[in-house]
Each structure stands twice: as structure tokens, then as C-alpha cells.
Structure 1
Amino acid sequence: MARRSADAALLNGKVHLNGKSTPGVRRSDRFLTSLAKAKQVTFISHVHPDPDSLGSMLGLAHLVERKLQLPTRITRDGIVSRAENKAMVELLNLELLPVEKIHWKAGDAVVMVDSQPNTGRHSIGKDAPLKAVIDHHETGGDLKGIPFHDIRPHIGATCTLVTKYLLEQEIDVPDRVATALLYGIETEVCGFPREATPCDDGALQFLYPLAEKNLLAQIRNARLPHSHFECLLQALQSSFIYDRLIISWVNDLPQPEQAAEVVDFMVRFEKVDWAVCGGVWENKLILSVRTSLHGAQAGEMLQRVVGRMGKAGGHDRRAGGCIRLRNDSENALDEVQARLRKRFLKELDIDEQRGQRLVPLRAMLENLQA
């Protein structure tokens, strides 16, 4: 009964083809049709791909190989640095081709997964032969001229949409693919705050018996590098509380994904509703936001805060962004941080105020002397 209800939750909906809504037509059929004339299919995602994008690319590659008998490639745009994500790539033997090494040929078809064109979240050129876009983000991209797109921001994970496609096409899901899809959904909807729908829950119920549990355990509990703790310490020492908002600054971010790790931790603080982390990586200020409030539209909020300074987007209670720094001087960074702090306070309707340190300066000094 649980399997039947899970399948039912996954198999409802409508498709968008050439920008038109077509009730009753299976999305997976339309997706495959958009690739029928291709000689090779390449899957790309956003910069620093996460488990949802990695699992989605692997699942769609399996679908295309089985139904169209076409060769496929899955890629990475930038590095994969978060410990759990690296473990996922290594343990599931994901062969990721760097996007900068790709040269398009006649007959190539590109599918963008877990992202949308012209959102500033990827680095492929305009010459990429984009044939399809499959995503669940609320940050809208430029979909003009793309033969097929399936954008469902009300769904918690892109991996859920891919699982639906596999079910529609009645394709067996190998344990490796099931593990990747399951972990991709988990990371999107099973943390805090939780953003899941019956469709996501149905996908989890369907995939769990098929997944390799030992590999899942190893991925979930990946061993952490020393830089993880250095970054967390710096974030704790630099965190300031403004009413129900906590802002953490990391001036030397070891890896871009660690800004998200900081806010995943900080949003659990019982005295705040919002957590923001800004960290410098290379010549960019990486921003990550979490909120415990339902209906907060964090992605839209961060877009307004960042404005023309950079790029941002996300979900109801999770968001991320990036601002390119003009120079790496301390004064320039202080100015950007001060500007962002004021914008966050204004956007969240918090009176301008002096922040209170999460860890008092006296305690820091005492720890140093101990």
C-alpha cells in the first residue's frame, strides 16, 4: 500500500514543452523526445554540484542510456568540496567531466539539471546546445528557445522529478542510482528546516528498499578535514546576533560549500530565526542563508539583499548567493560586509543596532590564555 501511494504521488502532474502546458502528457516521454535526434547527451548542473544535482544527473543518464541507447556524460562545474559530497562521488564511482574541458560537436545535446540558464550559477558558454532543463528552484532562468523544460519549485528535490521519470518509463533502478537519488532527496528535504511534499516522501519510500544502506551510512557520516573545524571556529568567533538574526563572517573560507555548513549549524540556535554566513573564497564572497520560518521565501529575500552586487536565489527557507569582490583589501571587504548587514536588517525589519557577539570577546581571550 505504501509503495502504491508513493507511486501515485509521483505520477501526477503536467508537462511544459516549448513553453506550453500540456495536461495528461507524460513529462518523461516529452523529455526523451527532445533528445531523440542527439548522438550524445551531456548533463550539466550548477557550480559546485551538490547531492541533488549529482543524483539527478546520474538518474537521467541511466534513463537516456536505457531508453535511447545513447552515450552520456555527467559533469562538474567547479570543485566538489563538502566532505559528504566528496564521499558520494568517490563511493558511487561518479565519473565527473570538468565542464571547462568540453568541446561541443555536431549531434551533442545538453541537459541542465537542478539549475536554469542565465542565473549566474554556472559557467558554460552560450554555445552549449541546450535541449532540456529540469529543476525545482524558484530562481527563474532564461528558458526561451529551449525545446523542453520541467520546472517545479513546489517539489523539494530535483531527484524526486528524476525518480518520477524512471517510474513512468518502468525502468529498473540499480542500487547505485537509487542510492544517489535517495541521498540527493535526503539532503534537500530531510534536514532542518524541512521542505518536502507528498511527492518527495513517495520518492523516498520507493527508493529506500533499493538503495545500498552501507554506502549511505558512509556518505552521511563522511570524515571531516581539519579545515572544517577551523572554519567553524572562525564562524563562531565572528558571529553577531541582531534580534532574531545571526550573521557569521569567515574571511578565509577553505571551500565554498562550507558557508552552507556554517548556516546549517547556526540556524539550530534557539534564539534566532535566521542564519547568514558570508565567506571569502578566491575573489568572491560566498553567501548562504537558512531560516526556520515557514513561508519566508529566503531565496527571494536574498535576491533583494544582494541586488546588483551579485547573484542569489534559492528556496523558501534556504538560499545562496555570490558577490565578486573588486579587490581583496580588508577595507573593501569591511565595506561590503557592512552594506550587506544593513540590507539584511532592513529586509527583515530589524532596527539598526549594534550586534551582540555569540561568543563574548572576554571568553575568547580567556581561551587563548588557557
Structure 2
Amino acid sequence: MTDVQALREVLTPAEELTIVCHNNPDPDCLASALALGRIAAAVGIDERRILYSGDISHQQNRAFINLLDIDLREFDPTSVHDRPEGSLLAFVDHAVPGGNNRVPEGTPIDVVFDHHPAEGIEARFVDHRESIGATATILTEYVRAFDLELDATLATALLFAIRRETLGFLRGATDAEYAAAGFLHEAADLNLLRQLSTPSVTSATVDAIAQAIANRSVRGAVLISHVGRTSERDALPQAADYLATLEGVETAVVFGVVDGSIHLSARSTDTRVHIGDVLTEAFDDVGSAGGHREMAGGEVPLGIFADYADDDEGLIAIVEQVITARLVAALNLEADGDA
């Protein structure tokens, strides 16, 4: 049985499908969810919903949802508890309950599409390919195999997601990304692609990136920085992307306090460093962290630091000290660095 036949067999008897995005979903996750919803509609599932948890603060992600008019709803725990007969639960761009999502551990999952490193994936249907550059690439293959009508909205969403996830085909892109892009290009709205590529930036994002630039510390080819406390979680990957372009820097890690957690974003072009493994080693015992060789992220609950400071300034100082020390140890760096 082919993967397409296996997916059809899981979907066909169902009456409704709940697609759960990971926390703070990005275009790759959102476009993949949109594509899976279209596939479900094609096999006769009338009730479909896309849920997310966390925040959608990145200006590009907000523009993506608004310009493509994606019907996105906040995560509702009742959607995954005591599901009625004929109701399916799917993950896209993540794979395990409780891992970068608010679905309780042990919840039965029916469908999983993902390209991130993950272990212990259990579902009735799984297409998990770490070698692929974007989950949207995988879903594009299924859109093509199911012979769906490729309208401008779906084609634009998938093409933009592939471009964004691979940084314009410069990070983790494979032959599959180029093949998917070639298939999607003719139907995509190129004007809309340009709009999505150049969204407006909030002043809070600019401030956070400025803090990351000011707080940077460079040790050899590794840059570590923080933004202090920010409301713009998605400023962290933007800062990491920018600082990774600094001359002589091959690995950049940026962290900051967002609400009740410490968030981290990392980038690396050093072939000796698997930055996903580095973050896992550094923070897996106190939070969740990991990712690809070139791109990774993590989250550590702030509660473990709360008893060590009476004010926010002191808290940020302790967070900086502890997080930096863990990164220095995991990356086998010298303790001192130069700004």
C-alpha cells in the first residue's frame, strides 16, 4: 500500500478532522495545515478545523494568516478530549503530544506530517522525513498525488512556506523543495508572495533586535546574546538570523524572557555543530529544546529562576548568567568572550 492509499484509508471513514498546529505556528506549519484540510475535504470530510496555541506575533505570520484568509482558531482542550466516533486528530510540523503543543501526553493521534527530529512518534498514519527541508514540501507531494485543484491561495501558501523555511532555498533545501516549488509556481500569486515577503515590522520587534545586537558576546565563531524581556517572541529568530550574518560568526544563539518562559532561537552554519543537539543537551533537563543541524529552538519555564530574584532586573541578570553558562558548556567554549 502506498502512503497516499494509507492516508486515504485513515481519512475516508471520518466525519470531522481537527488539525493542531504547534505552539506559535509559522508559515510551514500553517500552510501544511491548510493543505491537509484541503485533502480532507477532497475525500469527503465536511467538518475541519485548524487550532493553534501560543502567540502569532511574528509580523510575517500575521500577514500570512490575514492575506490568505486562513480560518484559524485558538486551541480548545475539548477538541482533543473524548472525541466522538468519526473524529480524527492530526499534527502538522510537529509530532508528539506535549512536545511544542498543548495536547496532553498520551493523547491518541491519527495523522502526523513532520520534518523535525523526533522520537517516539505514534499515530495511525505517519509521514516523518527529517531529510526534507519543509513539511510544506511533503504536503505538496500529497496535494499533487490526490490531484487536488491547485488554486492561488493554496499554491501561494505552500510556496511561501517552503521558501521561508529554507531561507530562500539556502538552508536545508533538497531536490524535493525545488520540485515542489516548480509544481506550485505557475498557480501561485506572485504579487501576494511579494507582500508576504516584506511585511511591516513592529517597534517592539526592532527594539528586541537592537537589544540582541547590543548584548552580543562572541567566543570564536559563536555568538550568544539576549533581548531581556520582550512581548515579541518571534523577534528572537529574526535576531538570530540577523546576527548569524555577522562576519566570523558561524553559530548564533539568542534568548529572551517572554511572559513566563525563557525562549531560545539558534542558527548555525558550522558543519561541526548540530545546533539542535546542542540545545537538547543544554536544556532538555529543565525544559524542551532541539531542532535541526542548522536551526533550533527551545523553551525553559521561568519558574525555576523565580526564587532567586526580587525584581525583574535581577531576574534577567540571573537568566543571562545561567542560560549563557549552559550554552558555553554545551558548545565547549571558553568562559570569557568579547563583544
Task: Please give the TM-score of this superposition, normalised by the length of structure 2.
Answer: 0.92
RMSD, matched Cα: 1.9
Does residue 230 (structure 1) correspond to residue 207 (structure 2)? The answer is yes
- Once the 2 structures are TM-superposed, how far is the Cα of residue 44 of structure 1 from its aligned partner? 0.8
2:118 equivalent among 139, 152, 157: 139
Deviates more, 1:331-340 or 1:27-36: 331-340
Cα-to-partner distance string for 1:177-207 (whole Å, 9 max, x where unaligned): 0111111111111348511110111111111
State the AA in 2 paired with 1:80. Answer: I
Alignment-derived partner of residue 262 in structure 1:
239
Does residue 85 (structure 1) correspond to residue 61 (structure 2)? The answer is yes
- Once the 2 structures are TM-superposed, how far is the Cα of residue 336 of structure 1 from its aligned partner? 3.5
Alignment-derived partner of residue 20 in structure 2:
44
Q: Aligned partners of 2:335 and 2:113: how far apart in 1? A: 41
Alignment-derived partner of residue 113 in structure 1:
92
Q: Aligned partners of 2:140 and 2:70: how far apart in 1? A: 18
Alignment-derived partner of residue 183 in structure 2:
206
Deviates more, 1:151-160 or 1:337-346: 337-346
Alignment-derived partner of residue 198 in structure 2:
221
Alignment-derived partner of residue 32 in structure 1:
8
SS at match of 1:68: coil
The alignment-based identity, stated in percent, is 28
Cα-to-partner distance string for 1:126-168 (whole Å, 9 max, x where unaligned): 585521111000133x323x21111100000000000011111
Kindly tell me the number of residue pairs found equivalent between the two proteins: 330
Q: Which runs of 5+ in 1 are unaligned?
A: 1-24, 358-370
Change (3 A) 1:85 1:246: same
Q: Aligned partners of 2:288 and 2:143: how far apart in 1? A: 33
Alignment-derived partner of residue 290 in structure 1:
267
Alignment-derived partner of residue 338 in structure 2:
356
- Once the 2 structures are TM-superposed, how far is the Cα of residue 115 of structure 1 from its aligned partner? 0.3
- Once the 2 structures are TM-superposed, how far is the Cα of residue 271 of structure 1 from its aligned partner? 1.6
State the AA in 2 paired with 1:229. Answer: V
Deviates more, 1:292-301 or 1:58-67: 292-301
Q: How does 1:98-177 map to 2 (within 5 A)?
A: 98-100=74-76, 102-104=78-80, 105-106=83-84, 107-118=86-97, 120-126=99-105, 129-140=108-119, 142-144=120-122, 146-177=123-154
Q: Aligned partners of 2:100 and 2:41: how far apart in 1? A: 27
Q: Aligned partners of 2:105 and 2:240: how far apart in 1? A: 33
Deviates more, 1:316-325 or 1:64-73: 64-73
Alignment-derived partner of residue 321 in structure 2:
338
Q: Aligned partners of 2:169 and 2:214: how far apart in 1? A: 23
Q: Aligned partners of 1:235 and 1:82: how far apart in 2? A: 17
Q: Aligned partners of 2:249 and 2:155: how far apart in 1? A: 36
- Once the 2 structures are TM-superposed, how far is the Cα of residue 236 of structure 1 from its aligned partner? 1.3
The answer to whether the 8 Å contact 2:28/2:162 transfers is yes
Q: Aligned partners of 1:160 and 1:291: how far apart in 2? A: 22
Cα-to-partner distance string for 1:334-366 (whole Å, 9 max, x where unaligned): 33332332232233232222x222xxxxxxxxx
SS at match of 1:210: coil
State the AA in 2 paired with 1:64. Answer: A
Q: Aligned partners of 1:254 and 1:235: how far apart in 2? A: 14
State the AA in 1 paired with 2:318. Answer: E
Cα-to-partner distance string for 1:253-303 (whole Å, 9 max, x where unaligned): 222111111101100001211101011000100000001224632111110
Alignment-derived partner of residue 10 in structure 1:
none
Cα-to-partner distance string for 1:99-131 (whole Å, 9 max, x where unaligned): 136535413211101001145300123585521
2:156 equivalent among 153, 160, 179: 179
SS at match of 2:335: coil
Rg (Cα) greater in structure: 1
SS at match of 2:252: strand
